[in-house]
A and B are shown apart, each in its own frame.
Chain A
Amino acid sequence: MTNNSNKEKTLGEVMRSRGVSRRSFLKFCAATASMMAMSPAMIPKIAHALESARRPSVIWLSFQECTGCTESLTRAHTATIESLIFDSISLDYHHTLQAASGHAAEEAREAAMNENWGKYILVVDGSIPTDNPGYSTIAGISNLDMFMQTAAGAAAIISVGTCAAYGGIPHADPNPTGAYSVYDVIKKFSNNQLDGISSATLAKAGEGSVVSKPIISVPGCPPIPVVITGVLTHFLTFGTIPELDHLGRPKAFYGQSIHDRCYRRPFYDKGLFAETFDDEGAKKGWCLYKLGCKGPTTYNACATTKWNDGTSFPIESGHPCLGCSEPDFWDGGGFYKALSMPTENITQTAIYTAAGAAAVGVALGAMNKSKKNNAVAAHNKTTIDDLEK
Chain B
Amino acid sequence: MSDFSIVQFNIQIGDDLTHNVKPLLHEIKHGLDKLVETGQTSIIDLRSIPLAPGEEDKILSMLGQGEVQAQLNALGLSEVTETQYAGVWIVTHYNDENHIISRFIEVTTMPEILCSQTEDIMAAYSRLTVSLEDNV
A138 in the interface (beta carbon within 8 A): no
A229 to chain B, nearest CB (A): 12
Contact A81 B17 (CB under 8 A): no
Cβ–Cβ contact A304 & B48, under 8 A: yes
With a CB–CB cut-off of 8 A, which chain B residues contact A262? 50
Select which of A22, A33, A318 is within 8 A of B117 by beta carbon: A22
A310: which B residues are within 8 A, CB to CB? 47, 99-101
Interface flag for A282 (CB, 8 Å): yes
The answer, yes or no, to whether A356 is at the interface (CB within 8 Å) is: no
Interface string of A29-72 (1 = CB under 8 A from B): 01101110101110100000000000000000000000000000
* Neighbouring B residues of A340 by C-beta, 8 Å: none
Give Cα distance in the complex from A294 to B19, angstroms.
Answer: 23
Q: How far is the CA of A303 from the CA of B50 in the complex (A)?
A: 7
Docked Cα-Cα span, A39 to B43, in Å, equals: 9
**Which of A79, A284, A312 has the most chain B CB atoms inside 10 A of its CB?**
A79
User: Using Cβ atoms and an 8 Å threshold, which residues of chain B touch A284?
Assistant: 9-11
Nearest 8 CB-CB pairs, A to B?
A40-B43, A22-B117, A263-B52, A24-B74, A34-B102, A22-B119, A285-B9, A309-B99
B17: chain A residues at CB < 8 Å are 263, 266
B75 at the interface (CB under 8 A from A): yes
CB of B72 within 8 A of chain A? yes
Instruction: Give the complex CA separation of A31 and B91 in angstroms.
Output: 11
Is B49 in contact with A80, judged by CB distance below 8 angstroms?
Answer: no
- A80→B96 contact, CB < 8 A: yes
B96 touches A265 (CB 8 A): no
Q: Collect the chain A residues with CB atoms within 8 Å of residue B66's CB.
A: none
Cα-based distance from A387 to B12 in the complex (angstroms): 32
Provide the B32-54 mask, 1 if CB < 8 A to any CB of A, else 0: 00000000000111011111110
A304 lies within 8 A of B47 (CB): yes
Q: A77-B95, A80-B76, A284-B10 are in contact. List 9 more A-B contacts (CB 8 A).
A: A22-B118, A27-B75, A27-B113, A31-B93, A35-B101, A81-B75, A283-B8, A283-B9, A309-B100
The digit string for B77-114, where 1 denotes a CB below 8 A from any CB of A, is 01000000000000101011101111010000000110
Indicate if the CB atoms of B101 and A78 lie closer than 8 Å. yes
Interface residues of B (CB under 8 A from A): 7-11, 17-19, 43-45, 47-53, 55, 72, 74-76, 78, 91, 93, 95-97, 99-102, 104, 112-113, 117-120, 123
Is A26 at the interface (CB under 8 A from chain B)?
Answer: yes
- A–B Cβ pairs within 8 angstroms, 27 of them: A16-B123, A21-B120, A22-B120, A23-B72, A24-B75, A27-B93, A27-B113, A31-B101, A33-B45, A34-B47, A34-B104, A35-B101, A35-B102, A77-B101, A80-B75, A261-B50, A262-B50, A263-B53, A283-B7, A283-B8, A283-B9, A283-B10, A303-B50, A310-B47, A312-B53, A316-B53, A318-B7
With CB as the reference atom, state the residue of chain A lying closest to B52.
Answer: A263
Q: A21-B74, A30-B102 are in contact. Are A37 and B48 (CB under 8 A)?
A: yes
Complex: A282 Cα to B8 Cα, angstroms: 10
Chain A residues, CB < 8 A from B44: 40
> Would B47 and A285 count as touching, CB distance under 8 A?
no
Q: Which of chain A's residues have a CB closer than 8 A to the CB of B117? A: 21-23, 26
Q: How far is the CA of A282 from the CA of B6 in the complex (A)?
A: 12
A385 touches B (CB below 8 Å): no
* Complex Cα spacing A24 to B95, Å: 11
Q: Which residue of B lies closest to A277 (CB)?
A: B7
| Contacts A30-B104, A283-B8 given; does A23 touch B113 at CB 8 Å | yes
Which residue of chain B is the closest to A316 with respect to CB atoms? B53
Question: Are A27 and B49 in touch, CB under 8 angstroms?
Answer: no
> A40, B104: Cβ atoms under 8 Å?
yes
Q: Are A266 and B18 CB-contacts (below 8 A) given A79-B97, A310-B100?
A: yes
Please provide the chain A residues from 170 to 192 with a CB less than 8 Å away from any CB of chain B in the complex. none
Q: Which residues of A contact B119 (CB under 8 A)?
A: 16, 21-22
Instruction: Let me know if A80 and B43 touch, CB within 8 A.
Output: no
Whether, in the assembled complex, A120 has its beta carbon less than 8 Å from a beta carbon of chain B, the answer is no
Q: Which residues of B contact A84 (CB under 8 A)?
A: 75
Residues of A with C-beta under 8 A to B112: 26
Q: Does A237 contact B (CB under 8 A)?
A: no
Cβ-closest chain B residue relative to A306: B47
Bound: A23/B76 CA distance, A: 12
